[in-house]
Copies of this chain bind each other. A is one copy, B any other.
Amino acid sequence: MNQDIQKSIDRLRSGDPRALARAISTVENRSAGWSDLLKALFPHTGKARVIGLTGAPGSGKSTLVDRLAKHYRKENQTVGIIAVDPTSPYTGGAILGDRIRMQDHYSDPGIFIRSMATRGSLGGLARATADAATVLDASGRDLVMIETVGVGQDEVDIVRLADVTIVILVPGMGDDVQTIKAGIMEIADIFVINKCDREGAERVEREVRAMQSLATRNDCWTPPIVKTVASEGVGTEKLAEAITDYEAYLKKENLVFKKNVENWQERLVEMLRDAMLEKARARMDGGSLERYAAEIAEHKRDPYSLVEEIVRGAERN
């Protein structure tokens, strides 16, 4: 192994937040050595508990994650948080709020927070998040929390990588909240009704119960509903208990390995897709991509035959 890589892994595993931040940037941006770094880190992975939290904008995800982080810190566990931001596809900027939140925890090196922003379509957010979680896991963090807005397919893919998936609902989000719930119903291992002191909390609970009676999980776990008021710290302990319960269930039923295999199947497909795309793009520099697009826009060429040609070309190379 490269000596530089060994050095940065040693510093990473000693808990140095700067080494951690640098390693995540390397894999996120696919900077030089990213692949060797991940290969070298892989043997150190598989120890962290990975918890995914998702909910609509305004559901109080960040506050809840903060509360959980502080709860686990009291138990002397080290925590890594990945906050996935919906960001502009053009500017790639991250949300200010999380940057501020990051500084808030800066005094405690036991909590490491990282905002992930979209980097265009190549690679994608799910891939970057999975790799960042791998780095945090390898660094020896006891707990990795992944927090994301739960509406798009991207976000669903992201939280599915977690061992425990928590879906956060809030009362009074309007009628269309049903569409969100329908989309993420099956991925929830635990439901949280946050801001449960608001009117309508019972209605949300009834709706979740009604949907649970229709949905079929392929195991025997019935996702519990935990009520919280994250802004006041109400319900954090109960949520932590629910997480422990589900982890115990997974262990008891020998589902940990099965879940791991399923997750890796999905990640492999994602990784393959990215790697193959890179290969295809390598055959087609920026200039010719634009020329092809212009020919299609002029209707001189149909895109479906073109793609077949390029893929066939990639076979021969």
Contact = CB atoms under 8 A, between A and B. Distances in A.
Report how many copies the assembly holds: 2
Interface string A86-128: 1111110101010000000000000000000010011011000
B179 A153 contact: no
Contact of A180 (B57, B173, B308, B311): B57
Interface residues on A, range: 35 or more
Nearest to A38: B304
A235 to B, nearest CB: 20
Contacts of A277: 269, 272-273, 276-277
Interface in A138-186: 149, 151-157, 160, 173-180, 182-186
Contact of A86 (B180, B271, B317): B180
Contacts of A270: 121
A240 interface: no
A154 B292 CA distance: 24
A283 to B, nearest CB: 9
Contact of A303 (B183, B257, B271, B284): B271
Interface stretch (A4-12, A18-26, A220-228, A293-301): A293-301
Nearest to A93: B182
A262 B293 CA distance: 7
Interface string A39-75: 1001101100000000011110000000000000000
Contact of A182 (B87, B174, B308): B87
Contacts of A157: 89, 121
B307 A271 contact: yes
A77 interface: no
Contacts of A293: 261-265, 268
7 contacts: A86-B151, A86-B179, A88-B183, A89-B183, A95-B178, A273-B280, A279-B315
